[in-house]
């Protein structure tokens, strides 16, 4: 018989790659240790699901590294991505507070390290540590702002403007500035995934991506996208207050 | 498929029904209409699962190695020891499961005044945590 070889090496909150961006980052060392001891850390491979739309919420997921897509599947079976979650973000908090079933499916877009805290523990921490509550409120507010922007984009903007806006959003969340002033988007999305994020068909998206490339706004190498002309992109996105 | 049942997986795989009932009064019971993944091989389950009705398949290398029946507990040892599971657990449709998260298990350990629960659940859990390095939980 083979022995169960190892206990998994635990990711300590104090050494978390997302340090500074997470909801627990303002906690003192001892308090962080308590969180570290209680959490369950798992690595999800690309395509593995953390939770599924319609399932019961277990607790709060805190993303340490990697990216996760939150997608909803409609009655027609079509998937639409509602949010991309990055290191430092939390997921599952909305269902946790409302006691609703998960409203979306969370799927790893690349190898992703995620820490899980059960509902009772997170509720205890929230009650005892106002900084955690404030961070969660801040996240919820940002999510709500993003959702409101998305709704207004769908109503007020055409596909070209929505695509330009998507590139700018991805630049903010996953952009890495290169020496030549362009930005490398450090997130690989399929055309289908990008299409669902702006509510259009893949064919339409492909047509507009070609247009963006021809105009020198973006460049592409395989699935990797570079923002080459941010100013023009801002113009095309027709963002308010620009 | 599994034959040497008692020395496999987890020593709580079949628990006294009265203990199961006590645990269900504490944990959350949920119904699965459709099948779904509970956790993947190599991961630590985020909660322990008490299967009340239906089936859970334990899968390795795309093969079903064992099918759990009602009254069996899954993932408790791994959860409390931060250990990876050797299997992917797939719950089948029309199954009822009681979730026991870490906080609830610690609560049971701390506060349980129910003698059968202490004898059949709390004490073995504590022993397993203490002697975790010496246990073998693989299906042979």
Which of A40, A48, A100 is most worth mutating to test chain B (most B CB atoms within 10 A of its CB)?
A: A40
Q: Could you give the CA distance from residue A60 to residue A114 in angstroms, rounded to a whole number?
A: 10
Least CB–CB distance from A52: residue in B36, B47, B86: B36
Looking at residue B116, what is its pLDDT? 66
Q: Which ipTM was obtained for this model?
A: 0.77
Q: What is the pTM of this model?
A: 0.81
CB B82 to CB A59 under 8 A?
no
> Between residues A47 and A140, which one has the greater pLDDT?
A47
Work out the minimum CA distance from A115 to partner chain B, whole angstroms. 9
- A 36-55 residues inside an 8 A Cβ radius of B: 38, 40-45, 48-49, 52, 55
DSSP string, B78-96: HHHHT---SSEEEEPSSEE
| CB–CB contact B102 A58 (8 Å) | no
- Write the CA distances from A189 to A98, A166, A186, A225, integer angstroms: 31, 12, 10, 9
Contact flag B104-A56 (C-beta cutoff 8 Å): no
With cut-offs at 50, 70 and 90, classify the pLDDT of residue A2. Answer: very low
What is the rounded average pLDDT of the residues A180-186?
92
Average pLDDT over residues A73-93: 88
Distance between A62 CA and the closest CA of chain B, angstroms: 13
pLDDT on residue A117: 93
B132 touches chain A (CB under 8 A): yes
Among chain A residues, CA nearest to B83 = A7
**Alpha-carbon distance A70 to nearest alpha carbon in chain B (angstroms):** 17
Residues of B in contact with A49 (CB under 8 A): 37
**Which range is least confidently modeled, A43-52, A228-237, B15-24?**
B15-24
Q: Please report which residue ranges of A157-220 form alpha helices under DSSP H.
A: 159-174, 191-197, 202-214
CB pair distance less than 8 Å for B82 and A40: yes
Percent of chain B residues topping a pLDDT of 70: 68
A132-136, A153-157, B57-61, B74-78 — which one is most confidently predicted on average?
Answer: B57-61
Question: Where does the pLDDT of residue A22 fall: very low under 50, low under 70, confident under 90, or very high at 90 and above?
Answer: confident
DSSP H stretches of helix in chain B = 17-26, 76-81, 102-111, 115-117, 123-130
pLDDT band of residue A1 (cuts 50, 70, 90) is very low
Quick one: pLDDT at residue A4? 44
In tens, the pLDDT along B71-98 reads 888 888 888 888 899 999 999 999 999 9
| Residue among B101, B121, B105, B117 nearest B22 (CA) | B117
> Which is higher by pLDDT, B133 or B37?
B37
Q: Does the pLDDT at position B134 exceed 60?
A: no
């Amino acid at each position: 018989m083979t022995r169960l070889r190892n206990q998994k090496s635990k990711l300590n909150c104090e050494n978390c790659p997302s340090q500074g961006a997470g909801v627990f980052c303002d906690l003192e060392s001892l308090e962080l240790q308590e969180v570290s001891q209680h959490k369950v850390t798992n690595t999800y491979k690309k395509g593995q699901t953390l939770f599924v739309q319609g399932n019961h919420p277990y607790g709060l997921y805190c993303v340490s590294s990697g990216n996760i897509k939150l997608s909803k599947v409609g009655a027609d079976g079509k998937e639409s991505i509602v949010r991309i979650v990055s290191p430092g973000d939390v997921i599952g908090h909305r269902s946790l507070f409302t006691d609703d079933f998960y409203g979306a499916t969370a799927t790893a877009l690349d190898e992703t390290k995620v820490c899980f805290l059960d509902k009772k523990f997170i509720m205890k921490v929230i009650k005892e540590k106002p900084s955690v509550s404030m961070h969660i409120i801040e996240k919820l507010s940002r999510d709500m702002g993003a959702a409101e922007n998305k709704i207004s984009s769908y109503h007020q903007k055409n596909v070209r403007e929505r695509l330009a806006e998507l590139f700018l959003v991805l630049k903010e969340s996953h952009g890495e500035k290169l020496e030549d002033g362009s930005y490398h988007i450090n997130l690989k999305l399929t055309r289908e995934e990008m299409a669902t994020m702006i509510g259009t068909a893949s064919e339409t998206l492909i047509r507009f991506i070609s247009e963006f490339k021809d105009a020198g706004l973006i460049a592409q190498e395989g699935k990797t996208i570079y923002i080459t002309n941010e100013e023009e992109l801002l113009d095309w996105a027709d963002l308010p207050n620009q | 498929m599994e034959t040497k049942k008692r020395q496999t997986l987890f020593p709580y795989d079949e628990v006294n029904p009265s203990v199961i009932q006590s645990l269900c009064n504490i944990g959350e019971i949920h119904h699965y209409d459709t099948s779904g993944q509970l956790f993947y091989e190599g991961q630590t389950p985020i909660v322990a699962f008490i299967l009340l009705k239906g089936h859970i398949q334990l899968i390795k290398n795309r093969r079903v190695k064992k099918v759990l029946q009602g009254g069996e507990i899954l993932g408790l040892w791994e959860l409390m020891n931060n250990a990876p599971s050797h299997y992917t657990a797939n719950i089948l449709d029309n199954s009822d499961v009681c979730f026991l998260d870490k906080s609830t298990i610690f609560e049971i350990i701390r506060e349980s005044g129910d003698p059968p629960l202490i004898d059949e659940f709390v004490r073995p859990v504590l022993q397993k945590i203490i002697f975790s390095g010496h246990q073998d939980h693989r299906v042979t």
